[in-house]
Structure 1
Amino acid sequence: MHARMTLLAAGRSSSLADVRFGENRSLDAAGWEEVVRQVPAFSSLAAAELRYCSPSPRCRETGAVLGLTPLAQPALLDWHMGRWRGATLGEVATREPEAVHQWLTDPCSAPHGGESLLAFIRRIGGWLDTRPVGAGEWAVAVTEPSVLRAALCYALKAPPHAYWQIETHPLATVALTGKAGEWHLDLS
C-alpha cells in the first residue's frame, strides 16, 4: 500500500494583476472569505495523519482556517527569486527583458540570483521523498501555488519546462500516491 499526499494551494493573497515574486503576504479579504466558504469542502483534510504548510503567512492562515494546525516546513518555501523578490513579472520584464527570457527558457538558469527552476523542482521533490509517511498513511500540505506546480513536475518526472504549462488557482488540490522517488498523480 502506498502513502498519500494531498497538496492544497493556499488562499488568495493578492489580485492576479499584483502577484509578486516571493510575496510573503497574508490572505487578503477575498482570500479569507473564500477559505471560510470552503471549510466544509475541505473538512476531511483534518483526518490526515500528518499536516504541513509553507511558512508563508497565507499558507499558515489557510491551514489554520481549515482547522489543520499544520507544521511549517522551510523546504516548502516559495521559489527563491533573488533580486526579483517583491517585483511583478511585468516590472522585471521591463527592466531585464533578456534575463526574463533566459529564465523562462533555460531551467538551469537563475539570472535573478536565486534558485533555478531545476533546483526548485529538486528541492520540492526532496521534501516529498523525505516525508515520514508510511504505507497507508495520509499527509496534507498547504503550499504556495509554485510549490504545487514543482511537486507535479517532480512526481510525474516531467521535463522542467512542463512547469510553465501547469495552471494553479487558490485552493486547488492535487493528490499524489506512492513512495520516495515513485509518486503518481491520483485523480480519484
Structure 2
Amino acid sequence: MLVTLVAAARSSTLLDARFGDDRPLDTAGWQALERAIPALLPLAAADLRYCSPTPCSRQTGDAIGLSPLSQLALRDCDMGRWRGLTLQEVAAREPAAVDAWLADPRSAPHGGEPLLSFVTRVGGWLDTRPIEGDGRVVAVTEPSVIRAAMLYALKAPPQSYWRTEVYPLSVVTLSGGPGRWSLRLG
C-alpha cells in the first residue's frame, strides 16, 4: 500500500502560525496551490482520499480534485489552552511550560495532547487504512501531522519531531502496511 500525505497550502505566514489554526487558505496559499495543481492532480486517482477537518486541508484537497473524506485522526495535535496562540505568545507567557513541552514528549503543559500521544494517534490512522497490496491512499493534512507520520513510520526517537520540517504543499509517501512502513522519496 502507498499512503501519500500532502501538506495543506498555507493559511497564514510562518510568523502568524497559531496552534490549532483553523483559518482558510490565505491569498498566498491559494496562489501557491494554483501553481502546484498540475503536479498534484494525479493524486486524485487514489483509491481512498482523505483530509484533516481544517478548512485549509479541505480547500487544498478539493482544489486538486480529491473530494476528500474528513478524518478526525488527521487533525493537528490538541494544544489545549495554547490553541489560537503563536509559539512566540506562549513562550512570552509560559516560558517554563514551553521548555518542558519541547524537552519531554510525554508532557502536555498546555492541557492538551502530549507529542507521543499525537504520534501514536497518527500512526494508528496509518495502520488501519483498509487497503492492501498495491492500493493507494492520499491525505491532505497539516505539516505537523506529516511530521508525526514520518516519525511513526521510521520508528524515530520523539526528539526527531523537532528536527523535521514539512512545508505547505510538500508531498511525502509511505509504503508498506501496519508495523512495517517505509519512507519513499522521489
TM-score using structure 1 length: 0.98
Q: Secondary structure at the match of 1:79?
A: coil
Q: 2:35 aligns with which of 30, 34, 37?
A: 37
Contact 1:36 1:66 in 2 (8 A): no
Equivalent-residue separation in structure 1 for 2:14 and 2:24 (angstroms): 15
Match of 1:138 in 2: 136
Q: Secondary structure at the match of 1:164?
A: helix
Equivalent-residue separation in structure 2 for 1:68 and 1:100 (angstroms): 37
Q: What's the offset of the Cα at 1:34?
A: 1.0
Equivalent-residue separation in structure 2 for 1:76 and 1:38 (angstroms): 22
1:71 aligned to 2:69? Answer: yes
Equivalent-residue separation in structure 2 for 1:122 and 1:70 (angstroms): 23
Contact 1:175 1:187 in 2 (8 A): yes
Equivalent-residue separation in structure 2 for 1:142 and 1:14 (angstroms): 17
Q: Which amino acid is 2:84 matched to?
A: G
Which residues in structure 2 correspond to 1:1-188 (within 5 Å)? 3-188=1-186
Q: What's the offset of the Cα at 1:125?
A: 0.3
Number of aligned residues? 186
C-alpha deviations, 1:55-95, integer Å up to 9, x for none?
Answer: 10000000001111111001111110000000000000010
Q: Secondary structure at the match of 1:80?
A: coil
Q: Which amino acid is 1:23 matched to?
A: D
Equivalent-residue separation in structure 2 for 1:59 and 1:133 (angstroms): 22
Equivalent-residue separation in structure 2 for 1:8 and 1:148 (angstroms): 8
Identity of aligned residues (%): 60
Structure 1: runs of 5 or more not aligned: none
C-alpha deviations, 1:100-140, integer Å up to 9, x for none?
Answer: 00000000000000000000000000000001121100000
Contact 1:24 1:57 in 2 (8 A): yes
Q: Which amino acid is 2:184 matched to?
A: D
Equivalent-residue separation in structure 2 for 1:52 and 1:133 (angstroms): 13
Equivalent-residue separation in structure 2 for 1:170 and 1:187 (angstroms): 17
Q: What's the offset of the Cα at 1:156?
A: 0.2
Contact 1:13 1:28 in 2 (8 A): yes
Q: Secondary structure at the match of 1:44?
A: helix
Structure 2: runs of 5 or more not aligned: none
Q: What's the offset of the Cα at 1:143?
A: 0.7
Q: CA RMSD in A?
A: 0.6
